[in-house]
């Protein structure tokens, strides 16, 4: 598949030495929220993927600091956020959390970013609440597809089955935190060698911390089941149909080495989102915002520049 040409902004981006630490955050109404320093710039919200957290956006938020007042949340049950009421991890639960946060901020429409599960969440938010969204940037969005993924552990579908998922979770607990962190990075990155040592240690520390939480594995398996359930929804609730109702300028980003949301879905997504552009990154995996944050930042800024020019 050839790379679709997307204009990249040529503006100067911030630089820093070493590895950028996570942005500070706090609990707000049960959700843990990280923010870059407020500058009065246009607001943005970043939504992570399955098994991820707000820290998945650290570098991209840093590159866009000053141009966006960026906020990243931990979805219910993930990161440092509290689990949802009745342990309901449906897509509706995550969408409601995002919408509620946006309504409470009262900043007007935001530039909405989503990766994987967060991409599905962001798609539904943009479709149902267009008043809350200025632009949409989706990195490997988890849109409906039930085809097997290359490179994915064949036991993954068993997590959908109650009882068996508990047994597999116990087996995972027997693996060291470093092994689990490395396995996740290998699955999500096209080139795991680009991960800085500090990021690797952060991933290991997060595995240890999550393993101590009673809802850690429940949040993952519950959200996976909730996502698959949303894929099977018919009619107006179908995610592909909802994508077709999104009118805001949309940037789609995929990596050719994505083992979780196959790049073969990219053309269908480009056709579904009517006001969209597609960037396919050679050699990149499931988390382009982590592997090539500068490229994603420049593509977003070009999207915003073009959207601003159209409004004039």
Spatial distance between the Cα atoms of 70 and 97, rounded to a whole number of angstroms: 17
What is the domain range of residue 184?
25-311
Q: How many domains does the chain have?
A: 1
User: Do 224 and 50 form a contact (C-beta atoms < 8 A)?
Assistant: yes
- Per-residue model confidence (pLDDT) at position 157: 45
The reply to whether 15 falls in a domain is no
The reply to whether 6 falls in a domain is no
How many C-beta atoms surround the C-beta of residue 83 within 10 A? Answer: 19
The reply to whether 18 falls in a domain is no
User: Do 166 and 259 form a contact (C-beta atoms < 8 A)?
Assistant: no
- Per-residue model confidence (pLDDT) at position 175: 84
Spatial distance between the Cα atoms of 99 and 128, rounded to a whole number of angstroms: 10
Q: Which domain CATH number covers 77?
A: 3.40.50.1820
Contacts of 214 (CB under 8 A, 6+ apart): none
Spatial distance between the Cα atoms of 155 and 163, rounded to a whole number of angstroms: 14
The reply to whether 4 falls in a domain is no
- Per-residue model confidence (pLDDT) at position 174: 74
The reply to whether 272 falls in a domain is yes
pLDDT in tens, the chain (312 residues): 334 568 999 999 999 999 999 999 999 999 999 999 999 999 999 999 999 999 999 999 999 999 999 999 999 999 999 999 888 999 999 999 999 999 998 888 999 999 999 999 999 999 999 999 999 999 999 999 876 555 554 444 434 444 444 545 556 667 899 999 999 999 999 999 999 999 999 999 999 999 899 998 899 999 999 999 999 999 999 999 999 999 999 999 999 999 999 999 999 999 999 999 999 999 999 999 999 999 999 999 999 999 999 876
The reply to whether 205 falls in a domain is yes
The reply to whether 17 falls in a domain is no
The reply to whether 3 falls in a domain is no
- Per-residue model confidence (pLDDT) at position 108: 83
pTM: 0.92
């Amino acid at each position: 598949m050839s790379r679709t040409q997307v204009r990249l902004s040529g503006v100067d981006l911030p630089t820093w030495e070493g590895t950028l630490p996570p942005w500070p955050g706090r609990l707000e109404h049960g959700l843990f929220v990280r923010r870059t320093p407020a500058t009065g710039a246009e607001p943005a919200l970043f939504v992570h993927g399955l098994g991820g957290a707000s820290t998945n956006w650290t570098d991209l938020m840093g590159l866009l600091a000053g141009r966006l007042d960026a906020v990243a949340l931990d979805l219910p049950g993930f990161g440092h956020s509290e689990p949802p009421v009745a342990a309901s991890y449906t897509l509706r639960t995550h969408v409601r959390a995002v919408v509620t946060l946006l309504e409470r901020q009262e900043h007007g429409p935001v530039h909405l970013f989503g990766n994987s599960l967060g991409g599905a969440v962001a798609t539904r938010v943009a479709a149902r609440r267009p008043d809350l969204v200025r632009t949409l940037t989706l990195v490997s969005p988890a849109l409906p597809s039930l085809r097997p993924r290359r490179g994915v552990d064949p036991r993954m579908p068993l997590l959908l089955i109650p009882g068996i998922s508990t047994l597999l979770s116990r087996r995972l607990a027997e693996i060291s935190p470093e092994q689990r962190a490395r396995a996740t990075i290998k699955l999500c990155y096209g080139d795991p060698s680009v991960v800085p040592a500090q990021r690797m240690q952060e991933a290991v520390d997060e595995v240890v911390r999550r393993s101590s939480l009673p809802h850690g594995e429940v949040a993952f398996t519950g959200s996976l089941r909730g996502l698959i359930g949303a894929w099977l929804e018919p009619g107006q609730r179908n995610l592909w149909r909802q994508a077709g109702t999104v009118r805001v300028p949309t940037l789609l980003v995929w990596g050719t080495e994505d083992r979780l949301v196959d790049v073969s879905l990219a053309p269908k997504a480009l056709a579904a989102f009517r006001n969209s552009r597609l960037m396919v990154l050679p050699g990149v995996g499931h988390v382009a915002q982590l592997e090539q944050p500068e490229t994603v930042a420049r593509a977003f800024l070009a999207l915003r520049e073009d959207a601003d020019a159209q409004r004039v």
